[in-house]
Chain A
Amino acid sequence: DAGITQSPRHKVTETGTPVTLRCHQTENHRYMYWYRQDPGHGLRLIHYSYGVKDTDKGEVSDGYSVSRSKTEDFLLTLESATSSQTSVYFCAISEQNPTAYEQYFGPGTRLTVT
């Protein structure tokens, strides 16, 4: 298994509170991604990173911010959580190996916003 951990694994929070999810990798891969998974929508990309301090938006980035100060850590922040952000969040990593860009997924974080 790729060395990817996510924390916390489960979180319940109230509307309006800030929340930070952490993704940690031990593979030294260049690319890191945050997805959310909701019934009927598959996986949708929130933000991704192509290197330390290099990030870009995905399909559903509104209400989310990210930071990557070290290769191994990619943080996802919900500045003011809303009920629509209740979801399962997956982190993924990939490397150009050689051109496959195959992504490996972490175990997921189940977030409930009440």
Chain B
Amino acid sequence: ELKVEQNPLFLSMQEGKNYTIYCNYSTTSDRLYWYRQDPGKSLESLFVLLSNGAVKQEGRLMASLDTKARLSTLHITAAVHDLSATYFCADLSTAEKLVFGKGTKLTVNP
């Protein structure tokens, strides 16, 4: 069974702090995706990681991929309230299908 496990599922942090969300997956895929979802909204693509060692950064978010460990991380630097959302990672299970984790609900408190 294909699995994508995120942890933590809930994360409450203070503004200005750093934290990491972890995404473990079970396939031998070398592609991993991160999405953001605001309450009541659709999913927005954040990062597409296409190879082992890939690292991408956008503002206060940085994503990385270790295919040997089957692990991707989403690192948050100096969190701000606007980053409050639910973050999903997804693994490319076959040539065209994604398997999603359950999501990490991030709340950034002032």
Contacts and interface: CB of A to CB of B under 8 A. Distances in A.
A30 B95 CA distance: 13
Given A45-B97, A105-B43, A100 B102 contact: no
Interface stretch (A35-43, A61-69, A75-83): A35-43
Overall SS of chain B's interface = strand
Contacts, number: 50
Contact of B100 (A31, A43, A102): A43
Interface size class of B (residues with CB under 8 A): 20 to 34
Contact of B50 (A33, A48, A50, A100): A100
Given A41-B102, A43-B100, A101 B42 contact: no
Interface in B52-104: 88, 90, 92, 95-103
Given A31-B96, A45-B99, A58-B97, 17 more contacts: A41-B102, A42-B100, A42-B103, A43-B90, A45-B97, A90-B43, A99-B50, A100-B31, A100-B48, A101-B31, A102-B48, A103-B33, A103-B45, A104-B45, A105-B43, A107-B42, A108-B42
25 contacts: A40-B102, A41-B102, A42-B88, A42-B100, A42-B101, A42-B103, A43-B43, A43-B90, A44-B100, A45-B98, A45-B99, A50-B96, A90-B43, A100-B31, A101-B31, A101-B92, A101-B98, A102-B33, A102-B48, A103-B98, A104-B45, A105-B35, A105-B42, A106-B42, A108-B42
Interface of A: 31, 33, 40-45, 48, 50, 58, 90, 94, 99-108
Interface of B: 31, 33, 35, 41-45, 48, 50, 88, 90, 92, 95-103
